[in-house]
């Protein structure tokens, strides 16, 4: 595979700043206050990756990324920026797009199974405490040991009820399963269903390979997840995207450092990943970010403040675009200084002062060089996007969805036999089991075990009776003959 050309993303007064494709899997950060241009930067980078044949996955939180599928030219501010920067070879263009939606309204239904999500991530979606999460893990283990598939929420609900009803049976092998924890998990499942989260689970589940498409021209498909409604449940949004990232990590082969990434994953509102996340989950995120680079996947976090991310994650992000930050409070001033310190210093630039002076669309940019070293930070203008800014109308979106090669596959729900059906069959079998006819005299015919126990009791009674009898006879004779025998 020949090495792709550098990807221009910004322009200083003197030069173009370009991202090297073979360094794009070293991850990156797009940060800045609301309204400073983060979404446009994300759009420009997605366009550049698509143009060299790299598929992209991103979440459309505000609904304004759908226009990536159509050429731009209708926005006055973009046209003005084109005249100012005069980017070489610039032409407005649309890009190949697939729309996805957990709720199945604004894109292909996006599903996984309960088993694939796993107890750790599902426990976070349900906001379970440590004890409840332990019970949920036990439920998953019992289902696995007994060959019961957990595909959708009705499977999980039936399995939880079954385990709760038989808690004493499983206590020795799986630990204590309290009724209170079972009840709390069931209530959390009801809340999730009311929010529409039950549509996330079921089949056909997402095939990761369907996110790695290219079009006939060799451009990477940009997969856009409609997230405006999903964001109403922030933990569901963050945990679902984390699951997607973990799936790529687990299913992708090792490729080392390819000439360009196999996929670039943009994680918007990245701070939600770490808000109230248990330690085990944070460690899982850190592990995935550290190791997924060798699978050819680049992860770009989009957030307001670099301090939203743990240092262990921030240290893995080599390509950085920092838009303006506001500093009205001591904490915000500290955040500005911290953001400035994450860049390789440029003697010609006061980085901390520049962060607060940046205009909309302007940023501090640092990318990795050919040896993997961070370049000196530069103040630059982000290049204008080539696709159309703004949302699509419903007819335009529907046209794109129905023209997809995937249309019809994920739209058809499959409900095969799984834990719910098998537990229903067990319950029905117990109810239909024949009842033994009572023996004459109204007494039920004793079982073999009852006969065995009855004989043993009678034998013991006879032995005890004979012993007591001998003692009574000795006592009576003793009183009659003055103790003589």
Q: How far apart are CA 53 and CA 69, in angstroms?
A: 15
Name residue 382's beta-bridge partners.
10
Residue ranges of domains in the chain: 7-111+205-396, 114-199+416-428
Confidence (pLDDT) at 248: 92
Give me the CATH topology for the region 7-111+205-396. Answer: Rossmann fold (3.40.50)
Q: How far apart are CA 131 and CA 137, in angstroms?
A: 10
Q: How many CB atoms lie within 10 A of CB 223?
A: 26
**Chain segment 28-66, per-residue pLDDT in tens:** 999 999 999 999 999 999 999 999 999 999 999 988 899
Query: How many residues are there in the chain?
Result: 485
Contacts of residue 139, Cβ cutoff 8 Å, sequence gap at least 6: 119, 156, 159, 160, 163, 185
- CB of 438 closer than 8 Å to CB of 444: yes
Query: In terms of DSSP bridges, do strands 362-366 and 297-303 run parallel, antiparallel, or are they unpaired?
Result: unpaired
Q: How far apart are CA 241 and CA 265, in angstroms?
A: 10
pLDDT in tens, the chain (485 residues): 457 789 999 999 889 999 999 999 999 999 999 999 999 999 999 999 999 999 999 999 988 899 999 999 989 999 999 999 999 999 999 999 999 999 999 999 999 999 999 999 999 999 999 999 999 999 999 999 999 999 999 999 999 999 999 999 999 999 999 999 999 999 999 999 988 888 999 999 999 999 999 999 999 999 999 999 988 888 889 989 999 999 999 999 999 889 999 999 999 999 988 888 888 888 888 999 999 999 999 999 999 988 889 988 998 999 999 999 988 888 788 888 888 988 999 999 999 999 999 999 999 999 999 999 999 999 999 999 999 998 899 999 999 999 999 999 999 999 999 999 999 998 888 778 776 655 555 555 555 545 544 554 455 445 545 555 455 445 544 554 454 43
Rg (CA), the chain: 33
* Reduced 3-state DSSP string for the chain: CCCCCCEEEEECCCCEEEECHHHHHHCEEEECCCCCCHHHHHHHHHHHHHHCCCCEEEEECCCCCHHHHCECCCCHHHHHHHHHHCCCCCCCCCCCEEEEECCCCCCEECCECHHHHHHHHHHHHCCCCHHHHHHHHHHHHHHHHCCCCCCCHHHHHHHHHHHHHCHHHHHHHHCCCCHHHHHHHHHHHHHHHHCCHHHHECECCCCHHHHCCECCCCCECEEEEECCCHHHCHHHHHHHHHHHHHHHHHHCCCCCCCCCCCEEEEEECHHHHCCCCCHHHHHHHHHHHHHHHHHCEEEEEEECCHHHCCHHHHCCCCEEEECCCCCCCHHHHHHHHHHHHCCECCCCCCHHHHHHHCCCCEEEEECECCCCCECECEEEEECCCCECCCCCCHHHHHHHHHCCCCCCCCCCCECCCCHHHHHHHHHHHHHHCCCCCECCCCCECCCHHHHHHHHHHHHHHHHHHHHHHHHHHHHHHHHHCCCCC
Q: How far apart are CA 225 and CA 217, in angstroms?
A: 23
Contacts of residue 368, Cβ cutoff 8 Å, sequence gap at least 6: 20, 23, 26, 318, 319, 374, 375
Q: Quickly tell me which residue has 């899997």 as its tokens.
A: 25
Q: Quickly tell me which residue has 């079921």 as its tokens.
A: 202
Question: How many C-alpha atoms does 91 have within 13 Å on its Cβ side?
Answer: 5
Q: Quickly tell me which residue has 């060798």 as its tokens.
A: 294
Contacts of residue 83, Cβ cutoff 8 Å, sequence gap at least 6: none
Q: Quickly tell me which residue has 């996955």 as its tokens.
A: 57
Q: How many CB atoms lie within 10 A of CB 93?
A: 18
Backbone phi, psi, residue 341, to 5°: -70, -15
Confidence (pLDDT) at 404: 95
Confidence (pLDDT) at 145: 95
Q: Quickly tell me which residue has 């790529």 as its tokens.
A: 248
What tokens does 368 get? 């990795």
Helix 419-432 / helix 153-165 crossing angle, nearest 10 deg:
40
């Amino acid at each position: 595979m020949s090495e792709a050309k550098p990807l221009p993303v910004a322009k200083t007064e003197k030069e173009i700043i370009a991202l090297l494709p073979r360094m794009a899997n070293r991850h990156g950060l797009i940060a800045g206050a609301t309204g400073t241009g983060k979404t446009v930067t994300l759009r420009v980078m997605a366009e550049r990756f698509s143009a060299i044949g790299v598929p992209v996955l991103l979440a459309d939180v505000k609904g304004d990324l759908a226009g990536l599928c159509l050429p731009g030219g209708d926005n006055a501010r973009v046209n003005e920026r084109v005249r100012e920067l005069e980017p070489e070879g610039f032409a407005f263009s649309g890009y190949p797009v697939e729309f996805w939606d957990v709720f199945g309204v604004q894109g292909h239904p996006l599903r996984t199974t309960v088993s694939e999500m796993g107890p750790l991530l599902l426990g976070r979606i349900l906001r379970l405490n440590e004890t409840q999460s332990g019970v949920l893990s036990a439920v998953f283990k019992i289902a696995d040991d007994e060959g019961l598939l957990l595909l959708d929420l009705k499977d999980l609900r039936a399995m939880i009820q079954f385990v709760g009803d038989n808690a004493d049976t499983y206590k020795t092998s799986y630990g204590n399963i309290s009724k209170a924890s079972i009840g709390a998990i069931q209530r959390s499942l009801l809340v999730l269903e009311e929010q529409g989260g039950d549509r996330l689970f079921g089949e056909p589940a997402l095939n990761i390979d369907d996110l790695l498409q290219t079009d006939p021209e060799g451009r990477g498909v940009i997969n856009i997840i409609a997230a405006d409604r999903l964001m109403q449940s922030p933990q569901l949004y963050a945990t679902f995207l984390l699951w997607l990232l973990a799936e790529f990590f687990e299913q992708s082969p090792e490729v080392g450092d390819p000439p360009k990434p196999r996929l670039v994953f943009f994680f918007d509102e990245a701070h939600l990943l770490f808000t109230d996340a248990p330690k085990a989950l944070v460690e899982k995120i850190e592990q995935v970010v550290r190791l997924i680079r060798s699978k050819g996947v680049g992860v770009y976090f989009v957030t307001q403040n670099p301090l939203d991310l743990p240092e262990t994650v921030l240290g893995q992000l080599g390509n950085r675009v920092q838009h303006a930050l506001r500093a009205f409070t001591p904490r915000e001033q500290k955040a500005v200084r911290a953001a400035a310190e994450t860049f390789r210093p440029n003697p010609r630039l006061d980085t901390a002062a520049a962060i607060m002076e940046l205009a909309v669309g302007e940023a501090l940019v640092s990318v990795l060089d050919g040896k993997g070293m961070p370049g000196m930070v530069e103040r630059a203008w982000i290049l204008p996007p080539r696709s159309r800014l703004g949302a699509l109308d419903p007819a335009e979106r529907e046209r794109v969805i129905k023209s997809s090669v995937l249309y019809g596959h994920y739209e058809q729900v499959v409900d095969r036999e799984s834990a719910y059906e098998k537990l229903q069959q067990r319950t029905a079998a117990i109810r239909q089991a024949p009842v033994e006819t009572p023996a004459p005299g109204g007494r039920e015919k004793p079982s073999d075990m009852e006969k065995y126990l009855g004989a043993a009791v009678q034998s013991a009674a006879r032995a005890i009776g004979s012993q007591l009898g001998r003692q009574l006879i000795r006592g009576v004779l003793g009183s009659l003959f003055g103790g003589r025998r």
